[in-house]
Structures are given as C-alpha cells and as structure tokens.
Structure 1
Amino acid sequence: MAETTKLLILALGTFPGNLNSKELKLKGYLLSPLVLVSPMSGRPLLLYLLVLSMALGCMLAQLDDSGKERAIYYLSKRMLEYEMRYVMIDHLYLVLVWATRRSRHYMIEYLVCLISQLDPLRSVRLVFSDRHPITNNIVEYEACILGLETTLELSIRQMKVFGDSNLVLRHIQGDWKTRDVKLRSYHAYLELLVRRFDDLRYTHQPRVQNQFVDVLATLASSVDFLTEVVICPLLIESRFAPAYCCLLEIQRSKMIYLDQASADRVMREVHAGVCGPHMGEHMLACKIMRTSYFWMTMEIDCCQFIQRCPECHIHAPPSELHTLTLSWPFSVWGIDIIGKISPKSSNSHEFILVSIDYFTKWVETASYTRLTSARVTSFIRSHIIYRYGVPHELILDRGVHFRAEISETEWAQARFDQLNLLDEKRLRAADRVQAYQRKMARAFRKRVKPRPLQKGDLVLRILRGLVRDPRRKFRPSWSGPHVIRELTLEGAAWLTNLDGN
C-alpha cells in the first residue's frame, strides 16, 4: 500500500527526496514527456522508416529553432501474412509507400527528406506530390537519374549510356522540348546531373536489342543481398551448341546428362548390345531413362536411331502357308469390338462385343454403354466358358479393352517417363511454330515491293483517325505531301510539312 501511494505521489508531480533508480527514471520520464508538436511552415520534414520482422513503423520529425528534432507524426502497422514473405528490398518499398499514403496531408504541403541507412534508399531525397499520376516516362526518368547519381558517387566522370527510352535521349540532346508538365522537374534535375560529367554520351538502344539487360534487371530485383556482401562481376558468355545438356527439375537431379557422342553410344548398347531386344523408340527412351541417363532430344534421337538400324529392317524369309485344321467345335474363338455406333441405341449403348467360333461359325454378342477390360472378362466367362467350356485358343487384336489392369506403381512409372519426355515435345512444338512463322513471313514478303525511303523524300501520310468525319466516305484518305526529316533503325520516319514544321 505504501509503494502504491508513493507512485501516486510521483504521478501527481510531488517528488520526495529519497528516490531509488527506478523512481528517478520514472521522474525523468514524467518531467520530459514525448509530446507531438505541429509542423512549422517553410521547413522540411524528416521521414524515418523502421522495418521489423513482423511490423512496420515510421515517424515524421522537424528541426526546431534550437536544432533539436521534434516528433510530429508517427505510425505503426503489423504486416500481413503474405507481406512477411517479402524480401528486404520489398519491405523497404512497402513501408515507404505505406508511410507516404498514410501521411499524405503532410507530403502535399512540405518538402520531405527521407532518412534511411539501408540500400537502395540511402541518401535519397524525394519530393512527393499528388498532382500527377506515375507514368512510364516518369519511371524512365527516375531510372536514368538514379543511375547517374550512383555513377557520380563512384567518382566516374566519363561514361557512355545505352538506353531504350527514345524520349529521355531526345530530351537530353535537346531535339525535343519537354512539354509535359509532369516531366519538367525531372528534366531540370537531369540536366544538372549531366553537367557534372566531363564526357557523357547517351546512345539509343532499340528495345528488341535490350531484352538481355531487362532480364538481368528482373533477376537482380528478385534477389535479396545483404549490405556487407560484395558482389563479384558477372561474366556472361553466349554459345551456340545443341541442347544435349540442360539443368532440369529436381526429380532428374540424380540422372547423368550426356552429350551427343555419349548418347549415340548408350542408344547402340541398349538397343542392339548384349541382350538388346531391338525395342521401339518409346520403349528405348524409357529404358535409357531407367538406367539414369538423359538428354533433351532423347525421344527424337531414339526414333532416328531405330530408323537407321539395319537389323530392325531385316525380316525372316517367307515360308510356306499351312492350313489350320480345327478338330472339334467351340475350341477356337475370335473376339472383336464394334463401336462407337452413332446414333446410339434406345438404351444408350454404343459398343458391341462380338465373338465367333471358328468351327461352327456360331456368334455370341453383347452391347454396352461403356466397355472396359472387366466387362470383356465377364463376357468371356458368361458367354463362352459357362456355355461351351474352356476354349483351347482365343484370338484377339490386343486392344486396350483386352489388356489386364496395371498396378499403381507401373502407372506412376509410365506417367513419370512421359513427363521426362515432355520438354523435348515442347521444343519440337516451338520449332514447328517458328518454322511456320518463317514460312508465313516468306510468303508475305513475296508480295511486298520494297520501297526504300531516304532523308528528304516527299511522302503521303495515311489518315486513320478514330474521330468521326462528317464527310464520311468523301473524306480524304491521305494528307501531305510531307518531307522525311529523319529515319530510325526500326523503319519509323519523322515527318515535317513543306514549311518545315
């Protein structure tokens, strides 16, 4: 009770003389509480970001007249389950976007300085505004600005830049005027950065030729690197060779990947070596995979190897025909299936199972809606064995319905073999698509009459406007003549009228 009374006295502001360390700490906290203050106009705000394992936090502060930071606004948020699986760089972007949206009323009126010790937000000063939405051109400008700032931090003053943004290139070179209001501030800041270089050359790279850089940027953004990790230079080589050796799924990690010479030797040994049964192409491919060997074009190579095998094309010499003598009735039966029958019968039966005795020509039939191997077995038992005894011989064509049910292990092995050969089928399908596209392109180019354009030529421009013209069918289809001022590598042309506009 005495301890509670003492704490109550401390809370009311009456401090006795004999205080221990905890009471002194509580006294200091009560005398200097953390109070949020209103921001002063004309001074920038400081934005602090915090990322924990399960939560996000931010605080807006401002320097007062004495140079001391005063807290203005703070927020905290527990991350959702899917947000916890983000990499560290995504967490930084998440807290930045979340903080700017929640403190939007401060971002509109004040200049905000972002304070962060983690890459890539280190030493970044952003000005936020909600007047314009983010567009692709703004992103191109920001990427160029961040690249130049990073280069200047490394004390590089001579550089050659390759980019696929023709807009940024034209604005830097002064060929185009920056008429878009959203890009004027970016263009002004970019010009300040360009002046700090001794020699800066910006070369336009067509987007078709810049795909490799885009892939590298995508891969880099998906990998989370620690701050203290030093990334070694990446050596990239391009080679043109048959795809006999590839990295595949984890299920194939225990297989040995062969080159072309080794693949030919393995096919020869399995197909026609010791105990080689000269099997078909699909069985040969499956048997090679079961011996832990694999390459990408396995199935098509096995098919071509069997077509070149001389033993597979040699047949036994013809022999004399002998008459088959049947000594008693109902000893040899022939079985076959008729169907599907269209239209269906009145009871929706589509299949007819027929059996005939070779001696008496006696016929037994039955119709079914759906025919399975179990029903075929039941038909033989009820219509032949129970009526005429066990036959000496059954003649059939080894169709699907006459085969026994396979076990689950054999079915899984067959499906696994098919999945292993799926990549090769996809490659063959892609090759067929490319061959079809090349064939269509050749057929189309035969009808195209090349008309090379040169700088200064007079041309007409086709009118394809979506605005409805009151003249309808009497409206003009062409405008001009125009003068070609410049030609690009892609075939586009910049036109001016006869007055030079």
Structure 2
Amino acid sequence: MPEPRNVSELKSFQGHLAYIRRFISNLAGRCQPFSRLLKKGTPFEWDDACRNAFNNIKAYLTKPPVLVAPIVDKPLLLYIATQEKSVGALLAQCDEDNKERSLYYLSRTLVGSELNYTPIEKTCLALIFAIQKLRYYLLEHSTNLISRADPLKYIMSRPILSGRLAKWALLLSEFEINFIPQRAIKGQALANFLADHPVPAEWELTEEFPDEEIFLVKVLPPWEMYFDGAARRNGAGAGVLFVSPKKDLLPYSFVLTQICSKNEAEYQAILLGLGIAVKMQLPQLNIYDDSALVIKQLTGEFEVKKPELKPLWRYAGELLAQIPEVSLHYVPRSENGPADALAGIAASLAHLDERPNRVPVCEQWVIPPPAEEEIDEELTKEIEESLPISASQNQTEDWREPIINFLRHSTLPVDLRESYEGLLLRCLSKQEGLQVLKEVHSGICGAHQAGPKLHLQVKGLSYYWPTMLRDAIEMARTCKPCQFHADYIHQPPVPLHPTVASWPFEAWGMDIIGPITPKSDSDKQYILAATDYFSKWAEAAAYREVKATTVADFIRTQLIYRYGVPRYIVTDNGTPFRNRVMDRFCEKFRIQQRMSSSYNPAANGLAEAFNKTLCKILKKTVGAHKRSWDEKLPKALWAYRTTARTPTQSTPYSLVYGAEAVLPLEVQLPSLRIAVREGLTTEECAQLRLAELESLDEQRLEAQQRLECYQSRMTRAFNKKVRLRSFQKGDLVLAVRRPMLFTSKTGGKFAPKWEGPYVVQEAYTNGAYKLVTANGSELPITNGKFLKRFYP
C-alpha cells in the first residue's frame, strides 16, 4: 500500500479507515499527525511523523488481534469487491458473541486482458481468486458470499458454458457457497479497501508462516474396535465392531467353522478384526475387550501357557505391529455388549440348515502360519488339517450341498447380482427374462410402457440378465397394441420441396371449394379455383356441381383461351380431377397433371392458401345476404388480384399486365397518376405505356427473386422440424386411419390410430409411397408423414 502523495489521496485513505475503525484501536490518536495536512492553505509536506503514523497503522492491520483462527462447524463470510484495476476479498466469521472477526485479507491488481473484463466478470474473477487462495478454509466450512452482484447466478445460469466461464464453473462445483445480497455490513467496506489498495505485482511477498494455506488443523479421534468370541457345543462365533471417528458403526459377525474353546474364539475375533484394520490401513486404533486374559496376554502382563493359544497369540502380535499406533484396553462386559451380541448371533446361526436367515454371516476360521521350530510335529499336523481357511469373509458353504439339494429336491441355488444401488437382483436366463418382460408389459397388470420405463420397472422387481435393456426396447417396439395405438408422428419425414415456376402461367394449382352452405340463389354450391404459381393470379367460377367435363371446360375457357397452355397443373386426387376425361384432355394439350398425395393439402399449398383467402373475403362481403356469395365472387377476385402478395411483394395484376389497375376510387377522387395522365397527349400516353411494358420483364425477374428468397426462408424454417424417415420397396408399414381428422375423434374413443400393415409397392420422390394390402389391392398414393414402420 503506497503512501499518500497529496491531500486527495490522504482523504481517500482516511475515508477507508473510517469504515474499518472497529478493527483499529485508538484510530483518532493514530491519525493525529494527518490532521494538520488537511487544514485549508497548509502545504502538503509528508514528514517523519506522518510516515511513522502511516506505517504504524499498516503494521496494526497485519498483526493480531485483527486476524483470528476459524471456529469449526460455523459458516464463513466471504466479502468480495472489484475496482477498475484491482479486486479484493475478506474472509470473516462470527464468533460466539455473534461478532464478525477477520480471518484472511486478499487483494491483487488486474493484468493484461483482465482489465477488459466486464464488471460482472471482474466480480467472478474476484470469487475465483478467493477460492483458489482460501481452498482449505472453504472445503471445511459452508460459505456465505456477500457482494454487490451475484457471480454464482451469472456463471451457473448461462445456457452454454465455454472458455473461462466453463473453467470457473468447474472450480466452483466442489464448494458449498451461498450468495447473500450486500447489506450495510462493515466487512464489505474492508473488501472495498483491499481492492482500492492492492498488492502490486512487482512486490515480493514474504511468508511469516511455513504454509499460509493451512491455517487450521483438525485432529480427529482414533478408530475404536470392540471384539468378542462365543463358544458353544454346536458351534462358535466371533463378533467385531468398528467405531469411526465420526461415530459410524461397522459391525461384523463371523461363524467359526471349527469347534473351539472360549479363549480360542476370543483370539479368533481379534485376529479377524486386526486383519480388517490392516486392510483399511488405519493409522490409529483403540482395541477393547471384556476378556482380561486375552488383553493382558497381548500386552505382555500374562504369559501364554496353553500350546493351542501360542500360534494365535504370535499371529496377533504380527498384526498389531502393522498398525502404527494401537492400544489395548479391558472393559467390563456391560460395555462390550454389541460385540458380544454379534458373536452370539454367529454362534447361534452356525447350524440352522435351511431355515430362513436374514442376518449376513461371514464364515471363516483363522489360524496363523505356525513356526515349525517352536511347535511340535503333532500340533503342526493338527493345525494344517484345520487349514481349509480363506482370507475372504464371504467363503461359500460346502461345495457339495447345492448338488445334494438338486438331487434330493430338484432345487438350484439362487443366483444373485448386486446392483449399483446396493440391491440384490436375481439373475435370469434369456427365456425367463423374455417371460418376465411379456408379463410386466402386457400381462394382467401391464401398462404397455415404453422400453426404458419397462426396463426400470423390471429392474425394480429385482431381476437381471445381461441384455434386459435391449430386450425391453425390442419388446415395446414389437408389441402390436402399442404400434396400433401409438401417437401420431407430427415431425415431417423429408425436407420441403417447394413448387418453382419460372414464368407467369407456367404452372397452375387447382382445387374445389365446397359444398358451400347455404347454396346461392342460383342453386350453386361449388367454386372451382385456379391460381398461377408465379404471379399469384387467380381465376374462379361458381357451379352447381363439378364433374370431369366441368373441370376440362374451365381449363379450356378460363386458362388456355386467356393465358395460353400451361406446362403442368397441380391437383388433388379428387374424382373430378382423376378420370379418363382429364387424361385425354391433358394428353391433347400436352399438359402434365401432377396429383398430390391423399389427405395431404400441403402438397398443393398455393391452391389451399387461395381458398382460405377467398373464403375470408366472401365472409366479410356477403353480409346478411348469405345466398348472394356467387354475385360477390367477381368482386372478391378483383380485390385479391389488386392486393400485393407477400412472396412477390407485388400485385398479381401488375405482374400480368405491367401496370397497376385503376380502381374506382381513383376515378372519383383522382390520384396523382390519373391527374398526370389526363394532361398527356395520345402519343405521350402510348410512350408511357411502352415504357411500362419494357420494364415488365425486369419487374417479373425481381418478383421471381423475391419469390425464391421467400421460399428459401420457408424451407429453412420447415426443415428445422424434419426427422428423416424413409421406406424401401417391400417394407411393412402402418398408415394413419382415414379419414384423418386430427381435430375430432373418429371411430370411437378407443379405436386405434393406425391401420395396416401394408406393403410398400413403390417409393416416389419427395416422400410419397404407393401401398398395397395383403390381398394385393392398391391404396391411393400416401405421403410419408402418415406412415411408420411396422415391426412384426
């Protein structure tokens, strides 16, 4: 912290000291030499008295009793603050009197690219700097973070973490930190003070402590082990109970496979317990038992006289030497009750045969390797005969028992597997697993769950076989009721393929509107409409009924005689469009008739869009005279043709005739263009008209470019929802039931949504398919979005 060089810096220094005056005794007296420099008109002269007072305050802030040691199991307070070029932090804690005490001060300057961080990123940097320096404090305590902004929310609520934010989030994941908004807390003022006066990067830090990161060492109590042995006529057992420093209990119960005395059982119990302790690598262990003989023999107070106990005593000494710090204590029988109970349980359950046993009992007999030079041959032979011993606590029973049980009762041992959750699962064969899946999926209480849910339910019933997840998915996928009652697939199966027309009247989309109720006064109830794909020009006529000859006459009189022979016409699969008359008519004029797939109006979207717009105009113009809609049809067509369309941003009239139509309103209230034309001569009008016709091609090219851009935007938006789904010739598929009315129920509440299966006879481009039934009858061409694969 540099010395103040002028009055402004001195005032700033004293202002910060005022916020932390409760940490400094006699602050007014310590600042007395500064008071004369603050008087008006006094020159700023930093003499020895000011320098000594400044150094005295700095020394006071870095020595006890300002900093104190943390209190175990109490939360910490972490204050962080940022400035333009520095960050600071203060670690504090409330003592027994609920007064905040400082534990650690931190501050540093920002360097390099850190100076360009946003304010919230600087706050995050201050937090990361604090947790890296105070790691050993924060791992041991829960921490309350106090700051102006919440860096935890900024880091953890980002939708995508990358770069330094991802690294910071990973560093924060191991700490228990809770954010508290900044209040009028004095500790925040000290954090701001540290941020304003950071340690310069060129300063060399001197450490007064060998390891400043380890400020608190928590000494845990040693482990405790209680053991006891039980010997009876029909068996013997050993019990061991470990007590961790956090008072967690680890009980062990062992069935001793050899008949032995009480003292031998005691030695067996301590040997088993010491073996476990050596495997756990316990640094400290206190051992307790109610047998004074065993304890005093192991401590050396008593001599071991019985030859059968000498190898056990010697082996126990070897195990005790492997533990760094161990102590043996004698306790009354009343204080060794749990270990005595564990030994008694093991001794009682030694010969229960086939009776139920829910207590996990480990079967073992431990005899240390004998020293041949100290034990006579007879004792050595005796010990070696009793050495079918295993160091494992989970040694199985006699290997002949399962064979005997199978020959006598035709029963096999239960094969169990332990799951990651600790549950014991019964292992099944492939055939048994399929039987379980079938019963759970579609049995008496089956709910026809999906594959993953079916797998979890079977696992919850404590069954296991290696391919249960794959079998569950396959079972749910091939279930016929699940296939026929599955939900509709709303995602399109193929990308969008818009119809492209390069010139006016090259392609028309045709459709029939009706029957319309009420009928018109002239008894008409249908409208036959056609829309040009390029200019959006529309033609429509009202009819009493629409037949094949009606459609052919409409195309001849309304389209060909006015606008020329089109290259192709797009229609649906309705009877008026799909017949011999239309085939001969199209063949005569060499017109391509393209039919959309059944129940797929989107394939002829332009015609459907015009139908919707025309109906809206008629609804708003007929008024109370509903039967006059056929008389209003020409006016609705005129309104549609003189309105700019969104794809081309031009009116259909201007794209066809090269100029905008003169509306009746412009005659009643002359517009500017009408007024200009009235003042022109005949030759000038002709020249103006020729100029408009010459610019018509350019206007149409611009409209085509706008149309292509519009179709491109629509295609990108549509393709985002595509989930590719295709079928090949010969595949079995299911089709949505017809008629496909998604807004109403069809065929009853419990009718299936799909029907079939059908065979794909032919696959067309753009996702259309020809299907046949099992008896060979053909179905209309169906779009792929109404199909899904069938699994027999």
- The TM tier, using the shorter chain, reads under 0.3
Structure showing greater radius of gyration is 2
Q: TM-score, normalised by structure 1?
A: 0.24
Higher relative contact order at CA 8 Å, sep ≥6: structure 1 or structure 2? 2
